[in-house]
Amino acid sequence: MTKRLGRGLDALISSLDIDEGDHILQVEIKKIRPNPYQPRKYFEEEALNELADSIKEHGIIQPLIARKSIKGYELVAGERRLRAAKLANVEHVPVVVREFTDEQVMQIALIENLQREDLNAIEIAQAYQKLMTAFSLKQEELAKKVGKSRPHVANFLRLLQLPKEIQERVSRGTLSMGHARTLLGVEKDQIKIELAKEVEEKSLSVRQLEEIVKRMSEKKKVSRETKDTETQRFVKDWEERLRMAFGTLVHVKPSKSKNRGKIEISYFSQEDLERILELVENSKA
Q: Of 12, 254, 272, 43, whose CA–CA distance to 131 is shortest?
A: 12
Active site residue 79: yes
Q: Exactly one of 74, 79, 112, 123 is catalytic; which is it? A: 79
Q: Considering only the C-alpha atoms of the chain, give the largest distance between any 2 of them, rounded to a whole number of Å.
A: 102
Kindly list the distances between the CA atom of residue 30 and the CA atoms of 66, 160, 179, in Å, as whole numbers in the listed order.
13, 36, 41
Distance CA 99, CA 3 (A): 10
Handedness of CA 99, 65, 141, 114 (dihedral sign): negative
Beta bridge partners of 26: 94
Handedness of CA 163, 169, 172, 178 (dihedral sign): negative
Q: Count of residues for the chain?
A: 285
Active site residues: 79
